[in-house]
Amino acid sequence: MNTENVTIILAAGKSTRMKSSLPKALHPIAGRTMLGHVLSTVASLENSSPVLVIGPGMETVADHAREWVPAIATAIQQNQRGTGDAVKAALLAIASKAGVALIVFGDTPLVRHETLSDMIKACTGNTAVVVLGFVSANPAPYGRLVLDAQKNLTKIVEAKDATPEEFAIDLCNGGAMAIRIEHLASLLDKLSDGNKAGEFYLTDVVAHARAAQLGCTVVIAPEADIQGVNSRADLSAVEAEMQRRLRAKVMADGVTLSDPDTIYLSADTVIGQDVTIGQNVVIANGVTIASGAVIKPFTHLEGATIAEGALIGPFARIRPGSEIGRDVHIGNFVETKKAKIETGAKVNHLTYIGDARIGERANIGAGTITCNYDGFNKHFTDIGKGAFIGSNSSLVAPVKIGDGAYTGSGSVITKDVAPDALAVERNKQFEKAGWAAGFRARFQHLKKAPK
């Protein structure tokens, strides 16, 4: 008999309050979609395979889910008739005959793995239903958990359907639920839409389970973990909480954040020990920073690796495909893209390095530009180790500067430069003695007298 656990992820809701052409589950939090967060949280639950419930026409959501879990099962809920109806839609995709069906929402990305794991563990023996509960400072919109005198969960009432006494309860339904698969179909069969919303509420399974002498219990989590996203305002609140978590995690791992509230991390950011990050730094997706690197204020990084001891910023922009080597210095107003900058090289001021390699200990002068794009194709600039690029050089790619070569300041370099050579491309300077003094004397009469 198949006794595998399943995780049912509900993402079929219409989410009208988001006012977006993008399905709600695909909105990003810390650079990762909400659905991506949920899938990565449930991925590590033991012995559990996921089933994603989406609405008709939400194929982009299924495609995205397959990037996380290639073999994920999907179910279509034809009409959005409530959370109970959505779980029913998943039944056909469930082969398992026993075990735990864990139901989570695609719009609640802060729920923790440990909490879900506790719910699965509690859903055993006669305990057929485990509800995720939380005590809310502002319970108004949530379903309320109604307990009997022995503190056993007897039912859940939606806010809309609550009596004044029930409305006063501050113990709320967090949405996620674990249900024994043996009882799942029969409990769902008992749901009706006879309520204020005219929906099949998943929450009604509690009362039906109790009526069938089955046990129901609650696993409590902090309110911050339960925050769901129904609107853009919720999205920003969940982003803020996710950022708090990511910052706390890297600080616990030995990273100094000079002013944590101004530093933005991504869900996939990897930072080594003894890295220091200054104020107002944004780390977008795909960044790895090795031990001892220093990221100075107002720097933006994305899709880049930063090696040990590198010094980046202030005001640097490190774009995708940048590989910043050991002890490299990247200074203010420097932009790098698809660039390999090798050990000890320096690119300190006002420079664009794109589609390029910069060899070990090369020095790139202020205002250097790799001219990598001709309107159709990108071309490569290769700068050898120990080369010295004079300030304000334009390196018109494809071009190769040999090891140890120099380019004169202000040169437009269009041909390869041999190792250890000097290439200068600019007009000879000429001088007219006394010209400036003569010029001033000629026009002196136009100058207004000071008042």
Site for ligand UD1 in 55-94 (CB under 6 A): 77, 80-83, 85-86
Please identify which residue in 23, 228, 325, 367 interacts with Ca ion, judged by CB under 5 A: 228
The residues that bridge with 171 in the sheet, in sequence order, are 135
Asked if 13 interacts with ligand UD1 (CB under 6 A), we say yes
Stretch that binds ligand UD1, among 168-176, 345-353, 377-385, 404-412 (CB under 6 A): 168-176
- The distance between the two most distant Cα atoms of the chain, rounded to a whole number of Å, is 108
Asked if 33 interacts with ligand UD1 (CB under 6 A), we say no
Q: What are phi and psi of 107, to 5 degrees?
A: -110, 20
Asked if 133 interacts with ligand UD1 (CB under 6 A), we say no
Q: Residue 334: which residues within 8 A CB-CB, separation 6 or more?
A: 316, 317, 347, 348, 349, 350, 351, 352, 353
CB of 186 to ligand UD1, least distance (A): 19
Cβ atoms 367, 350 nearer than 8 A: yes
CB of 32 to Ca ion, least distance (A): 19
Q: Residue 261: which residues within 8 A CB-CB, separation 6 or more?
A: none
CB of 195 to Ca ion, least distance (A): 16
Catalytic residue among 300, 349, 379, 445: 349
381 binds, among ligand UD1, Ca ion, none (CB under 5 to 8 A by kind): none
CB of 243 to Ca ion, least distance (A): 21
Residue whose Cβ sits closest to Ca ion: 228
Identify whether 183 is a catalytic site residue: no
CA angle 131, 136, 139 (to 5 degrees): 95
Q: Residue 431: which residues within 8 A CB-CB, separation 6 or more?
A: none
Long-range Cβ contacts of 429-433 (<8 Å, 24+ apart): none
Asked if 191 interacts with ligand UD1 (CB under 6 A), we say no
Separation of alpha carbons 429 and 228, rounded Å:
68
Cβ atoms 312, 293 nearer than 8 A: yes
Q: What are phi and psi of 32, to 5 degrees?
A: -125, 140
Residue whose Cβ sits closest to ligand UD1: 143
Task: Enumerate the active-site residues.
Answer: 349
- The residues of the shown chain that bind Ca ion, judged by CB under 5 A, are 228
- The residues of the shown chain that bind ligand UD1, judged by CB under 6 A, are 10-13, 53, 77, 80-83, 85-86, 105-107, 142-143, 156, 158, 172-175, 201-203, 228, 230
